[in-house]
Amino acid sequence: MPTLSRVPISHIRVVGELREINEVSLQKAISVHSVKGFFGLDLVAVREDILKLPWLKSVSVRRIWPRGLRVTAVEHKAEARWHDGGFLAADGTLFYPSASRYSANLPILKGTVGIHTEMLWQFRELRQALRPIKRQIWKFIRTKRPVWRVELDDGLVIVFEKRNSIAAIKKFAKTAAALFGKRLGNLSRVDLRYANGFSVRWRQNVSSLVSYRVNSSEK
């Protein structure tokens, strides 16, 4: 008959919406500790080992009388890919798990070290600003230079300056939706680095360059 400190754990209940981590992985992480029994189990050590699994954001572990454990797990929800192979969670956390089955559908952000959280917020603002033209951002690139770049899901490249970047994108999207209509899909490149307008390059003739003047009072 087991002593009080060695009362075995008979069941483990996992709570949480898990997409990337399965219960088998969680139970395997717990099994190395379960030999200590229900009362001898170090809950802090169990939690730390579970958190080593990829994709996990937070974990809580508690005893359930008389012989059970309840594990509540929350996964990171990836919103974008970081250019060096990492993922950006919705809260701005940069993490490096194994490949995800849905990673190919996530937009890519590329920037210098340490600006990933700032870029995620800017990405959201840019995405909102582009709603009038009904396009999604596929890649957002920032370098040390003051020139930024976004590539959309239809291949359109937009170049703009760091200064007033969101305002410039908003103005372009509002103007382009009305000015180009269905022809918007024929654009290959847009340059917003003009005080009162922008230039465009068309897909069917990459040598053609047209400038459009926009009233500076438009918002």
CATH of the domain at 52: 3.10.20.310
Same domain, 50 and 34: yes
Local confidence band at 164 (pLDDT 50, 70, 90 cut-offs):
confident
Same domain, 57 and 86: no
What phi and psi values does residue 210 have, to the nearest 5 degrees? -120, 135
157 located within any domain: yes
Domain boundary among 21, 54, 75: 75
In tens, the pLDDT along 140-151 reads: 999 888 899 999
Same domain, 41 and 113: no
Same domain, 106 and 83: yes
85 located within any domain: yes
Q: Which of 159, 162, 150, 161 is CA-nearest to residue 126?
A: 150
Query: What single DSSP character describes residue 100?
Result: P
CA–CA–CA angle 96, 49, 17 (5° rounding):
65
219 located within any domain: no
Burial per residue of 157-181, b for 16 or more beta-carbon CB atoms within 10 angstroms, e otherwise: bbbbeeeebeebbbbbbbbbeeeee
Same domain, 168 and 192: yes
pLDDT at 7: 81
119 located within any domain: yes
42 located within any domain: yes
pLDDT over 60 (residue 215): no
156 located within any domain: yes
CATH number (domain holding residue 119)? 3.40.50.11690
Q: Is 170 helix (H, G, I), strand (E, B) or coil?
A: helix
Same domain, 68 and 111: no
Whether the CA torsion 125, 137, 112, 160 is positive or negative: it is: negative
Domain boundary among 75, 98, 129: 75
197 located within any domain: yes
Domain boundary among 75, 110, 130: 75
Same domain, 195 and 88: yes
pLDDT over 90 (residue 99): no
218 located within any domain: no
Same domain, 11 and 98: no
In tens, the pLDDT along 114-123 reads: 999 999 999 9
Same domain, 155 and 170: yes
> Domain range holding 181?
78-213
Same domain, 121 and 24: no
For the chain, the domain total comes to 2
pLDDT over 50 (residue 79): yes
The answer to whether the CB of 163 falls within 8 A of the CB of 176 is no
Local confidence band at 218 (pLDDT 50, 70, 90 cut-offs):
very low
Distance CA 201, CA 180 (A): 13
Q: Which of 26-40, 59-73, 195-209 has the highest mean pLDDT?
A: 59-73
Same domain, 82 and 71: no
Q: Which of 136, 123, 17 is CA-nearest to residue 77?
A: 17
Same domain, 185 and 117: yes
The answer to whether the CB of 9 falls within 8 A of the CB of 38 is yes
In angstroms and rounded to an integer, the radius of gyration of the C-alpha atoms of the chain is 25
